[in-house]
Amino acid sequence: MTLPTKPPRKPFRKSSRKTTWPARVVRGLKYTVAGGVLLGATVSSATTATPVGDARVPQAEAAAEHYIAQHGWDILNDFKTFLSLPNVASNHADMVENAAWITGYLGVRGFVSETVTAGGAPYVIARRDVPGATRTVLIYAHFDGQPVAPENWASPPFTPTLRDGMVEDGGTVVDWQAALGGPIDPEWRLFARSAGDDKAPVIALMAALDALEGAGIAPVVNIKLILDGEEEAGSPTLAQILARHGDKLDADLMLFCDGPMHQSRQRQLVFGVRGSMTVDLTTYGPGRPLHSGHYGNWAPHPTDRLMRLLTSLKDDEGRITVPGYLDTVRPVSDAERAAIAAMPDVDAHLRRELAMAKSEGGGVRLEEAIMAPAIVVKGFQAGGVGTQSRNTILPTATASLNLRLVPDQTPEDVRTALEAHFRAQGFHIVYEDADRETRLAHDKILKVDWRPGPYPAYRAALDGAEADAIAVILDQLKGGETLRTPTLGGSLPIYLFEQALDMPIVLLPIANHDNNQHGRNENLRLKNLFDAIAIYAAVIAAYGGDG
């Protein structure tokens, strides 16, 4: 399948380094400059033909398809420009530039935006009101990305690169300039940090608005946005942001636009995420490195002690065996089991795709397995391997653990259970580096370093009225019925929004499941981007309408 396109326009390239704009017309939305300030035009519904009843959704979908066919390269050029901006949350200057680009991009579509901070990376809060609209939807996405190790990527992480397939499958580079203006294969993938997680919703939502405007279809819902510049760092200042600006975010429904679609490539509405916390564990051996031949079998090796401790946390099927760890876990409901049973079973396909002879969990399918807590060893540091290995007994060994929580577990409960287990394994716990006196007084010492910013899980009921309204809209799109998925395995700080805002919250993921999220060669399949445009167009055109 290929998409014919018109010759592309110049991509949107606003950055914080440019403060003046020429007066012009962009995609039919007029705006002017006064004193260097971008003034977004208000889009009136008085002169547009609003579809009514069930016709809204297919008309919105057709408008999206037509717009993509005419402006596919425009959309990709804008996405390329956005992805070219480095966006590791710890680099404040980069995140400020990302926020400035976003506010300019939104302003072209009539959004009133502000950039706010609470001592960390910036957030962008924006709104676009529609005359006569009686409903408001609040959309969340984030625009920061995980740190990168460029040497591990097949192409530079901030030089967006088109390929005709996955790098792991031998996908070859598509020459952007040579392909520009020609057909776009929706199976191509765009490789860059944050292509899949999570800059795409900003591009797709604005393209959806452009598509509706071009087709003369007026939105029927007010749109508010909160775009997070520090999600990959745990959104450490989000609570303060919501305390200061939560009154600007009232809405009838919040859509969290983050995460991957189901592995079957069917659309899904997701009703939960797991919580997350991280702990680093360090064991101790001799006070200085020792030759393993001279001192092996005599000096305790910290790697041995740490490995034995780690293997005590789970059984061979990956189930957690720490006493008390599962005591507060909310059971899976009958409705959630029924929803899982109705979903395509992708386990066998995924095992083949991932070259796995067997999965953990004793035969439990993926969608139910991720409804349980998880303890994942993220990394283990204790000397080198291969040509970097040394015949040495080291003074310390350290492992980093990611703990995924489920509803009714609290970070405090998890910490209590784990530390009790560590002590039961014979370890003396410290929270700072063990000094000489401590090492002489205790045989088995474990330094436990709890990272800041832990947060609990979130899971809503599957039958909320507002989620039903969105599902009715999505089910009218091409591609079959929308799945109702109890939870994603990943984590998002939804609990903070649940505490601060009085509205139902549901996740609407758009990325492909194999987007290499957080890893090297992160990518977005172009069909996922184009499908997202149709999804957003349908929601904007039909949610809260008369149908």
- Domains of the chain, CATH where assigned: 24-38+56-144+151-273+457-542 (3.40.630.10), 276-329+372-450 (3.30.70.360)
Enter the tokens of residue 14: 């606003």
Residues in the chain: 547
In this structure, are residues 400 and 377 in contact, taking their beta carbons and an 8 Å threshold?
yes
| DSSP codes of every residue in 220-243 | -SEEEEEEES-GGGT-TTHHHHHH
As a whole number, mean pLDDT of residues 248-269 equals: 94
User: Which pLDDT belongs to residue 30?
Assistant: 32
* Residue whose C-alpha is closest to residue 490's, from 319, 284, 259, 193: 259
Q: What confidence tier does 274 reach under pLDDT thresholds 50, 70, 90?
A: very high
pLDDT at 271: 95
Q: What proportion of the chain, given as a percentage, has pLDDT over 70?
A: 90
Residues 526 and 513: their CA atoms lie apart, in Å, by: 13
pLDDT in tens, 364-374: 999 999 999 99
Would the pLDDT of 11 be above 80?
A: no
What is the spatial distance between Cα 248 and Cα 259, in angstroms, rounded to a whole number? 25
For residues 475 and 478, what is the distance between their CA atoms, to the nearest angstrom? 8
Q: How confident is the model at residue 88 (pLDDT cuts 50, 70, 90)?
A: very high
pLDDT tens string 428-472: 999 999 999 999 999 999 999 999 889 899 999 998 899 999 999
pLDDT of residue 463: 87
- Lowest mean pLDDT: which of 112-116, 253-257, 319-323, 382-386? 382-386
Residue with token string 């680093």: 280
SS (H, E, C) 324-335: CCCCCCCCCCHH
DSSP per position, 368-418: HHTTS-EEEEEEEESS--GGG--SEE-SEEEEEEEEEE-TT--HHHHHHHH
- What residues pair up with 38 in beta bridges, in sequence order? 33
pLDDT of residue 20: 33
Q: What is the pLDDT of residue 7?
A: 57
What DSSP letter does each residue of 496-527 carry, written as one string?
A: HHHHH--S-EEE---B-TTS-TTSTT-EEEHH
For the cut 90, the answer to whether the pLDDT of residue 44 exceeds it is no
Lowest mean pLDDT among 28-37, 108-117, 132-141: 28-37
CA pseudo-torsion sign 482, 483, 489, 491 = positive
Q: What pLDDT score does 33 carry?
A: 29
pLDDT band at 392 (very low <50, low <70, confident <90, very high): very high
Q: How confident is the model at residue 173 (pLDDT cuts 50, 70, 90)?
A: very high
Give percent of the chain with pLDDT exceeding 90.
Answer: 84
Instruction: List, for residues 512-525, the tens digit of each pLDDT value.
Output: 999 999 999 999 99
Quote the distance between the C-alpha of residue 119 and its chain's center.
22
Per the model's pLDDT, the better-predicted residue between 34 and 2 turns out to be 2
